[in-house]
């Protein structure tokens, strides 16, 4: 196999491909890029770590057609630093790859293209398309609450529910939950269903979120999403990202959310977040002999929300003005989780709904009518921790 690429083209193509590369897989081929050079002048580049993968097709000068697998990390580093505007890749019969650009050359070992893992079928008649910007904004609100190695496998991912022109995303672990919805222009593929429910694994979600940031250049750029029984495919321009789905039925998250809280605290989100970030100087400090990080305590009374934290490293105290309905309350949270919830929330003014020091708290926009008129909704739920003092 012998191919000549434009350096700018191959460097741009390699970036999204790294999202499908495994760094912990025992199969060497899963750490590589499958390069398939076709006689028609196209070159298909694929990565796949047995759970998720990426594919990019680029134009190239194919001198000799063929296929080979080259370690993705080494290939990416090499083409990026090569001197010259064009790069020629040659793989001989002994699977020795030579990369030449200008007066520079580099050799590395390759694998036979036939050794690449069998990738899922990347075709389906079922699916829909949606604005890439809308999808990324929705994912941002839920990324932080996905489970990691949770015994309930369905929680180790992001739940999608698409029904007509409405999409809802849900993520949840043992401490926090994010539920976000939007009404958008969602175009089902011709002959496709109008309702979809699926769970994308957390690692795939994280990589997809990064890809959307680079692949979606314009607000009008759509993402085509194809779904089959076990896999999902996202097509973003020249980039195709695919992933296995988590099998199983998602939890009945609506039943978990408390809806009749006795106390409501209305606060400026940025003011509260700033106070929590100052408290993090104490709560994030690891103290010798301590079994874990300290909590942050919220004390709502007399139109003030007092934020305090204590640990062997010191103490912090802050207060902000709030509006309050109901009784006074003192409650404690994992500070990092609370900050994650506030960062994900897009409202300038928020409502904290509480009942007791041991009941979950809901965080949502203080003016839901404004959100709902735009077809958007967001709610974040966080469990408290038992206070040590």
List the domain boundaries for the chain: 2-115, 127-253, 257-382
CA distance 143 to 29: 29
**Are the beta carbons of 46 and 53 closer than 8 angstroms?**
yes
User: Around Cβ 91, how many Cβ atoms within 10 Å?
Assistant: 27
**Are the beta carbons of 382 and 175 closer than 8 angstroms?**
yes
Are 2-115 and 257-382 equal in CATH topology?
A: yes
At 323 the three-state DSSP class reads: strand
Above 60 in pLDDT, residue 291? no
CA distance 295 to 336: 9
**Are the beta carbons of 242 and 223 closer than 8 angstroms?**
no
Distance of CA 320 to the CA centre of its chain: 32
Write the CB contacts of 3 (distance below 8 Å, at least 6 apart in sequence).
35, 37, 43, 60, 61, 62, 63, 64, 88, 89
| Cα 50–Cα 55–Cα 60 angle in degrees, nearest 5 | 140
User: Domain 257-382, what fold?
Assistant: DNA Polymerase III; Chain A, domain 2 (3.10.150)
Average pLDDT over residues 37-61: 94
Count of alpha carbons within 13 Å of 378, Cβ hemisphere only?
A: 28
Average pLDDT over residues 296-311: 94
Identify the bridge partners of residue 2 per DSSP, sorted by sequence position. 64, 90
CA-derived radius of gyration, the chain? 25
Average pLDDT over residues 92-102: 94
> How many angstroms separate the first and last alpha carbons of the chain?
69
Distance of CA 112 to the CA centre of its chain: 33
pLDDT of residue 319: 96
pLDDT of residue 285: 67
Average pLDDT over residues 208-221: 83
Helix axes 202-215, 7-17, angle to 10 degrees: 150
pLDDT tens per residue, range 113-156: 999 999 988 878 899 999 999 999 999 999 999 999 999 999 99
Q: What does residue 245 show for φ and ψ, rounded to 5 degrees?
A: -100, 155
At 269 the three-state DSSP class reads: helix
Q: 69: closest CA among 21, 19, 106, 109?
A: 109
Percent of residues, the chain, with pLDDT higher than 70: 94
pLDDT of residue 184: 87
Percent of residues, the chain, with pLDDT higher than 90: 79
CA distance 26 to 47: 15
Above 80 in pLDDT, residue 69? yes
Helix axes 7-17, 72-81, angle to 10 degrees: 150
Write the CB contacts of 96 (distance below 8 Å, at least 6 apart in sequence).
107, 108, 109, 110
At 341 the three-state DSSP class reads: helix
**Are the beta carbons of 350 and 367 closer than 8 angstroms?**
no
Q: What CA–CA distances, in Å, run from 105 to 4, 14, 84, 122?
A: 13, 19, 11, 36
Whole-structure pTM value: 0.91
pLDDT band for 373, please (50, 70, 90 cuts).
very low
User: Around Cβ 198, how many Cβ atoms within 10 Å?
Assistant: 18
Q: β-strands 222-227, 166-172: how paired?
A: unpaired
Distance of CA 28 to the CA centre of its chain: 26
Above 80 in pLDDT, residue 389? no
Q: What does residue 347 show for φ and ψ, rounded to 5 degrees?
A: -75, 145
Q: Top-level CATH class of 2-115?
A: alpha beta
pLDDT of residue 286: 65
Helix axes 132-142, 335-344, angle to 10 degrees: 160
Write the CB contacts of 203 (distance below 8 Å, at least 6 apart in sequence).
51, 52
Write down the CATH number for the domain with range 127-253.
3.10.150.10
pLDDT of residue 113: 94
């Amino acid at each position: 196999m012998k191919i000549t690429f434009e350096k700018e083209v191959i460097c741009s193509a390699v970036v999204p491909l790294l999202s499908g590369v495994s760094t912990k897989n025992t199969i060497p081929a899963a750490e590589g890029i499958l390069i398939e050079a076709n006689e028609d002048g196209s070159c298909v580049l694929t990565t796949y770590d047995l759970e998720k993968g990426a594919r990019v097709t680029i134009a190239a000068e194919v001198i000799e057609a063929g296929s080979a697998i080259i370690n993705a990390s080494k290939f990416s580093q090499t083409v990026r630093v090569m001197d010259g505007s064009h790069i020629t890749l040659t793989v001989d019969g002994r699977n020795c790859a030579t990369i030449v650009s200008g007066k520079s050359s580099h050799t590395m070992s390759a694998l036979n293209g036939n050794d690449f893992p069998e990738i899922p079928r990347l075709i389906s008649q079922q699916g829909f398309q949606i604005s890439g910007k809308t999808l990324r904004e929705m994912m941002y609100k839920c990324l932080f609450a996905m489970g990691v190695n949770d015994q309930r496998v369905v929680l180790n991912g992001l739940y999608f529910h698409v029904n007509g022109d409405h999409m809802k995303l849900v993520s949840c672990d043992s401490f926090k939950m994010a539920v976000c919805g939007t009404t958008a222009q969602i175009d089902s593929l011709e002959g496709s269903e109008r309702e979809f429910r699926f769970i994308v694994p957390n690692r795939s979600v994280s990589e997809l979120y990064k890809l959307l940031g680079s692949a979606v250049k314009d607000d009008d750029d759509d993402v085509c999403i194809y779904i089959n029984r076990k896999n999902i495919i996202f097509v973003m321009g020249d980039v195709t990202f695919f992933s296995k789905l988590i099998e199983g039925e998602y939890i009945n998250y609506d039943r978990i959310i408390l809806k009749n809280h006795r106390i409501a605290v209305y606060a400026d989100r940025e003011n509260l977040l700033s106070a929590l970030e100052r408290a993090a100087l104490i709560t994030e400090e690891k103290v010798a002999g301590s079994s874990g990080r300290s909590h942050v305590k919220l004390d709502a009374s007399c139109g003030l929300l007092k934020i305090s934290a204590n640990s062997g490293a010191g103490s912090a105290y802050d207060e902000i003005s709030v509006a309050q309905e109901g009784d006074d309350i003192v409650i404690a949270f994992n500070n990092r989780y609370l900050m994650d919830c506030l960062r994900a929330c897009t409202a300038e003014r928020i409502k904290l709904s509480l009942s007791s020091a041991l009941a979950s708290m809901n965080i949502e926009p203080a003016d839901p009518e404004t959100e709902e008129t735009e077809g958007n909704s967001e709610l974040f739920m966080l469990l408290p921790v038992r206070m040590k003092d």
